Structure 1
């Protein structure tokens, strides 16, 4: 084959052996560190963020392995061509690219129509090394139909306009396996400036593209999950605010007569998650002058729980307005939850206060009992029997009665607020508070800053007359 020069530059000389050895040492140390981090990062395969992280680790390790191989071959130089090799030796201009792993080289002579392929190119394309290399006209027969125009355009631009080749296409191996290859090449000019031949470097990038695709798909899945989580969070917040509007000061109850209770409440979101839980509170002055006080908690998080909370509160208020007593009210709520299309468990405490006798009738369903504070001390009310809402279809609930005094303070809460002993320890401070809202502020200041794992509610009612 006639001697030739590259269309853009001559072959570069390899760097010194010592500097490459240093790079190899650094690369292998980095490979070990990366592999250790990758092993430590193994997590839930169903988690999109975990899949995305593992895909990135795999891609980085894959590229470091390539770099290690490339540097080793750069240090050692081109491998010798066996004398028994039936494949003609690759031209000098293409041997510089054979330093890459999974890389084949080829040169097509336009004057003699001869082709020279390296052994690695035969392996990449799945061809028999004993078979003659394909000419430029025959090469598209290995390429997928939809990628052939791309290859034809690249080769034409190289031969006609002396443009470098740099592009990817997919080839079909004899067994039907599809591989992605990246081709880089240049025209080789003769002494008169005409195109004498074309050389090319063909690299199998199938695994690299697979790793990159895994990173991209995992990233897209993670972004989709985050967008869905943000949407669900916004919907849950809107539902919660619709049924649990924030109370600032004592709520205005429906009855316009003299108030017998000063009521305030507060919802505390979880500190360790952005998910909206199922804690709720409610206070409602009824048409007969009595007052409904209740708090509860539904299991789970998100819009479905917020929707169930809205359903439960609607039923609770409707039955209370109809005069249903606390024990019967919880019994019917239990049946309602048991018959729901999305059954769930919940706890609740329901109180009905009669101002004329200062009597509190109450019942509970697997919920912490109310706390009664009087004269600077506090105690937990003795709880009647009651199982979780939704636990069994025909549950019976007991009912208790407590006589209150003017100045008494009743505290209802969900179990994630704080331990009962901690709440009872606030008794001396609560005794000096002037309003129910002041009491709520004290409770929130004491319990609201902790790194709680779940949301919580507190409702305070002070007997004013």
Structure 2
């Protein structure tokens, strides 16, 4: 049976051969480029984002496969005419054939049916078995989808409504395929429905790719939501136990050996996860002042909760009069026996205003920098290993006599992590003229933040500037 001519439209004209060939070639080139992007998409740190990107590439490849098949059929001409031999379609990576499009016509007067060769392939039906009638077609359709198919066919034959819908079929080989059916009634000269003509497209792989994109997009959103929730929890936890991070911490003690103190927390660039870094200053019962900065390995809620535990213990030990070296020993034991092991660097100092002396100990932390008379130098470090690195570690203490006008800078190693260690320290020491000329610790802190507070730092950092009055 010849393909139908609808009563309300002229016969379609075949496309120009050269124009169609050029369009097919461009489609093939684009398909190859997208496939290359898909193959080169490497898994990154965020698996959810990678799965979403890969699913999008798969979907684009499937759509371009369909487009290429459609253009080849369009180039071949009318479905009732002999078609030129075409190069076999390339299978997808999983070995399944690309989606195909077939056509069918069911004659209501003679009860005959005509299927294209592609439709037999879609249904997995041997051509020698012949086409299926409209009454037989529902036997292959999923039970849940039979009512939909019946409604579409009935509306087309009785009401003259166009068909546009999807249903699932079970092929004889057990494969489940999703078909998209578009069709219209074919009218006779009197305007009555003589037959129904339809195009059926196997969209199984396309729908699978669309589901993969949707699921991976939902996965990305879940990961982002979890990350945002965790970041909010970490921020709330840190704000509950640490000095304010939105304004400078300032502590000024008058009298002999007066201490003017300002501290800043500098966030990491590119919204990196919040870690377990801290700074703190605490007036002790005997009149001394506790100064401490530190950082724990890890990020997120785990690191922040461990930091809160560590800082609580540090404050309690300092109030009890424990000296910095012994205090770090207790913190090391606390981390070493914790249920969730962690490593940490820390600097703990006790400033005695009566004698203007600073007693301090460190656990793999940068040494304090002393600025005096226009120059700066790093204090000689006493021995001390990372907190939590080894059981029973001992931490030496050191002391330094300070003078009125001296400025101390305490910081975590994240402050200048983008530089080599020596280069970062040199940049800090180069601020000596500005730090020694500053009348307040706040002015000195602004100088440090102005130098190191820009972009490029891969982790957060703490800096504390103390000026002896």
Is the pair's TM-score, using the shorter chain for normalization, greater than 0.5? yes
- Between 1:213-222 and 1:54-63, the stretch displaced more is 54-63
Change over 3 Å in CA distance of 1:378–1:247 after alignment to 2 = farther
Q: Tell me the equivalent position of 1:201.
A: 199
Contact kept in structure 1, 2:257 and 2:354, CA below 8 Å: no
Contact kept in structure 2, 1:273 and 1:453, CA below 8 Å: no
Contact kept in structure 1, 2:314 and 2:331, CA below 8 Å: yes
Residue 11 of structure 1 and its aligned partner are, at CA, apart by 4.0
Q: Tell me the equivalent position of 1:70.
A: 70
- Between 1:175-184 and 1:5-14, the stretch displaced more is 5-14
Contact kept in structure 1, 2:100 and 2:118, CA below 8 Å: yes
Q: Tell me the equivalent position of 1:430.
A: 435
* 2:183 corresponds to which of 176, 185, 206: 185
Residue 132 of structure 1 and its aligned partner are, at CA, apart by 3.3
> Structure 2 length normalisation: TM-score?
0.88
Q: Tell me the equivalent position of 2:354.
A: 356
Q: Tell me the equivalent position of 1:92.
A: none
Residue 279 of structure 1 and its aligned partner are, at CA, apart by 1.9
Change over 3 Å in CA distance of 1:32–1:130 after alignment to 2 = closer
- Between 1:287-296 and 1:304-313, the stretch displaced more is 304-313
Residue 317 of structure 1 and its aligned partner are, at CA, apart by 0.8
- Aligned-partner Cα distance in 1 for 2:257–2:309: 29
Structure 2 unaligned blocks of 5 or more: 83-97, 417-423
Residue 252 of structure 1 and its aligned partner are, at CA, apart by 4.3
Q: Tell me the equivalent position of 1:449.
A: 454
Change over 3 Å in CA distance of 1:180–1:324 after alignment to 2 = same
Change over 3 Å in CA distance of 1:335–1:354 after alignment to 2 = same
Q: Tell me the equivalent position of 2:387.
A: 389
Which aligned pairs between 1:182-331 and structure 2 lie closer than 5 A? 182-242=180-240, 243-246=242-245, 248=247, 251-252=250-251, 260-331=258-329
CA deviations 1:56-96 (Å, max 9, x no partner) are: 222223322332332233223257778xxxxxxxxxxxxxx
Change over 3 Å in CA distance of 1:79–1:153 after alignment to 2 = closer
Residue 113 of structure 1 and its aligned partner are, at CA, apart by 2.4
Q: Tell me the equivalent position of 1:97.
A: none
Change over 3 Å in CA distance of 1:53–1:129 after alignment to 2 = same
Instruction: State the SS of the aligned residue for 1:198.
Output: strand
Q: Tell me the equivalent position of 1:343.
A: 341
> Structure 1 length normalisation: TM-score?
0.89
Contact kept in structure 1, 2:272 and 2:459, CA below 8 Å: no
Residue 185 of structure 1 and its aligned partner are, at CA, apart by 1.1
Contact kept in structure 2, 1:352 and 1:361, CA below 8 Å: yes
- Aligned-partner Cα distance in 2 for 1:344–1:8: 78
2:145 matches 1:140 = no
CA deviations 1:16-73 (Å, max 9, x no partner) are: 1122123223333333443444444433385222222222222223322332332233
- Aligned-partner Cα distance in 2 for 1:13–1:270: 64
RMSD between aligned residues: 2.5
Which aligned pairs between 1:151-166 and structure 2 lie closer than 5 A? 151-166=149-164
The count of corresponding residues between Structure 1 and Structure 2 is: 447
Change over 3 Å in CA distance of 1:76–1:120 after alignment to 2 = closer
Instruction: State the SS of the aligned residue for 1:317.
Output: helix
Instruction: State the SS of the aligned residue for 1:229.
Output: helix
- Aligned-partner Cα distance in 2 for 1:183–1:29: 29
Contact kept in structure 2, 1:70 and 1:101, CA below 8 Å: no
Contact kept in structure 2, 1:4 and 1:190, CA below 8 Å: no
Residue 307 of structure 1 and its aligned partner are, at CA, apart by 2.0
Residue 415 of structure 1 and its aligned partner are, at CA, apart by 0.9
Residue 292 of structure 1 and its aligned partner are, at CA, apart by 0.3
